[in-house]
Structure formats: structure tokens, C-alpha cells
Amino acid sequence: MSYPSPQRAEARASLSERLKEQARALGFELVGIAPATDADGFARFNSWLDRGFAGEMSYLPKFRTERQNPNSILEGVRSVLMVGMEYGRGERQPNPLTPFPKKEGGTEPPVVLSPSPLRGGVGEGLQAQPPPPPPLPKGKGEQVLGASGRTASVNERVVFSPFPSGRGDGGGGSPLARVASYAAGPDYHRYIWDRLNTLAAWLEAEAPGSRTEAVADTAPLLERDFARRAGLGWVGKNTMLINTRRGSFFFLGAVLTDLELEPDSPSTSSHCGTCTACLDACPTRAFAEPFVLDATKCISYLTIELRSDIPVELRGSVGNWLYGCDVCQDVCPWNRNAGSRTPAFPHEPDLAWIDPAELLDLDADAFRVRFKKTSFWRNRRAGLLRNAAIVLGNIGDERSLPALEKALTDPEDVIRNAAQWAIDQIRYRTSSVKSGLPSAPSD
């Protein structure tokens, strides 16, 4: 749908600005408009699929061709409104938790990079060009890390701790498992989608005869690609969309329309510079190279998307992550001072850190009551309790053994398998401590 000349340009600009105002009023801090042409990243997406990095996410190759152009979602689409809504990060560790990676001749404490702060102030606009973070010092005791091949010195290493900062243990004396920040609240799909539909209805009322389609991770749209083209940010080396003012802790959503709206200037520059903090800090070394994630090694994939057993060689690297992972975002310098305002998306602290031993006692009905309206519902009871057992095995607390032994009789194979692995880990470590042997986790 187009406006008649000569009022077309003025009407288009006016409607575009009013649409953005409506989006901000609904809690979307980031708003921009992109033309609905072929996705720039479609070729890269195809290459990523061909390399097998999607794992068991069969819906991605199934709708491969549909992601080339948003016309597959809304016929006659001309514009894509992209929005971002921040989510709370709650209480975080000074450094993200990582497991004990193996090393020849023994074990090494986990390595988490604390990148040096950006020099100068963070610019207000996306075109700001601050100097890149300075490289970390090299010195005695260096270790090559991650996809970057960069080195980290011994003073950058931190130890595993199962407790959130300032929280101690989980009430009953049990260590807590960590949840990715985005999941510590209601199911974001519904929360975002409801507001996008409100926005779409407003647009159709303002332009009678127009058609819209709301998308919140619910259709084959390369969202980060169109968000970059709408000026919301750039895609970082950790593959997250990053905004200079907001960092990367935000959800993306879209409203497609057959109206010709005024497009925003795209983000054409990367502000990652020489920084490789995200690549180096990844507990499972999931980045095949900068800007390329092998999802089959990513903790978020392993704890959410994967329905089968988590590969034995990656279980120790899951650490105490129960659902999802924030490591590559936590270490990003652009997130240091971002998100200081209270976001529109509700944060529920009780969902940010959870007692994994308690989860093992949930039957199907109890799980449904507790998690039906949250993101945890995505991988169902079997997936979440599998993860809980893995976390308990990594924490290694003998007090978890009764809950794990009870889980050995669970009807779900993945829960029983994870529970047995966790029991073996705890008993091995316990016997190692008593005998004075190295307490390296086993494969």
C-alpha cells in the first residue's frame, strides 16, 4: 500500500515517527525501520547450516528458503519495523561461572577473561567509534584460548563457585544453579508478541486497508539481519546484536507491513575492534571462528534445544548453568554500563537462581504448575531435570546424592542417564579427596 503523490513522502515520514512513538510507549527501547528486501545474511545463514552448526534444530533447515525474503511471511511486505526490549540481568557474578577444563597432566582452573574497559566514553549514537579495548597483557603462565587464539595470563583465571554473589546457598543448604537472564521472567514470546500485535493493530487503524504481521521468534525471519539494517546495532563476534547504549541484553521483535515506511540508516560498522573476550570466555569453545557459533557446542543449545543426552565430553563444561548461558554477553565490554534503567520486561529473581536438587523431585503435574508460563516450558520436564542432574554432578556436593539416586528411577531416559553420570562424578571426587588423588572430572 502506498500513499498518493504529492503528500506521499510527508505522510510516510509522519506515520513512521508516530509508529515508533507507539512502540516506545509499549516498552520497546530500540526501534527502527528497514526495507523488506532480501536478507543480507542469507548466504551466511546457508553456509552455517551446511556446516552442521544447527544441530537438532530441524526447523531451521526446514524453512531455509523462506528466510531469504520476508515476503514468505507477509505477501506484499514493503517495510519491517524492528524493535528491541531490554530484559533485566538481576544479580550477577563478578565473572561468569565456567567449569574445569582439562589439561595434560591434570586440571586447570577455569579461565574467564575480564577485558579491559573501553577507553573514553561510550558514544550515544551507533556511528560512534570509540577505540577498541586494549589487548590483555601477556606474561608468565600464558594459555592459548578459544577461537581467537589469543593468550590469557594466570591473573585472569577465576575458580568455580556454585553460589550467586551475596546469596549464599539455596535456603535448604543446597547450591543454586544459574539461569540465563532472559529466562528469569515470563515466556518472552507471548509477552513480546502481545505488544507487537497491539502495535500492528494500531498501524492498521492508522492506515485502513494495510496489512501487518507480528513476529517474535515465531516466523522464518533473520531478525538480527533486519535489526542491523534498521539501525538497532551491529552483530558482534559472539553473534549477538549489540547496541552502543543498550549492550546486547534485549529481545528482538518485528512488525511486517505492506506500507512503505521511512527506513532508518543501517548500522554499517562493527565496534568489536580487537576484543576477543567473548570468544575466549566461552566454556565449551563453541565459536568456530569470530562471528560463527557452532550451536552444537553452545550451552544454550545443550540445555534448551537438545532433547537427547548432553554429550559426555561437554557435560563438565556446562558448569552450573541450568538453562541457557550468558557468558559471552557478561564479558562483553559494551554490557558493562548498559541496562542501568529498569527494563519493561519483568524480572523474577526466584527464577534467576534455582535449587537443582529440588527440581529432581518435580513430577509432571508439579512441573506444569511451576513452569507452564515461563521459558522453561520449552524443553519440558525431561530437559530441565536432565540439566539439573548435570549441574549437581559439576558442583559435586554429596548432599545431592539422595535426590540423584531417586532420579535413577525416573521414567525419562535422559534424566536417569544424567543422574547416574552425576552420581559417578560426585563419588569419584569424594573418593579422590579422601585418597589424595587428583579430582579431575571423568569422561
Q: Residues with Cβ < 8 Å from 407, sequence gap 6 or more?
A: 360, 385, 389, 415, 416, 418, 419
Q: Cβ(352)–Cβ(179) under 8 Å? A: yes
Of 333, 93, 303, give the one whose Cα is nearest residue 183: 303
Q: Cite the DSSP H helix spans in 152-293.
A: 188-206, 223-229, 277-281
- Choosing from 217, 326, 410, 443, which is the catalytic residue? 217
- Separation in Å, CA 398 to CA 65, 319, 350: 51, 17, 24
DSSP string, 393-412: HHHT-GGGHHHHHHHTT-S-
Quick one: how far is CA 333 from the chain centroid?
Answer: 16
Of 182, 190, 200, 187, give the one whose Cα is nearest residue 23: 200
- Separation in Å, CA 365 to CA 126, 313, 369, 374, 381: 48, 32, 6, 15, 10
217 is catalytic: yes
Question: Grid coordinates in use for 366?
Answer: 508439579
Q: Which residues are catalytic?
A: 217
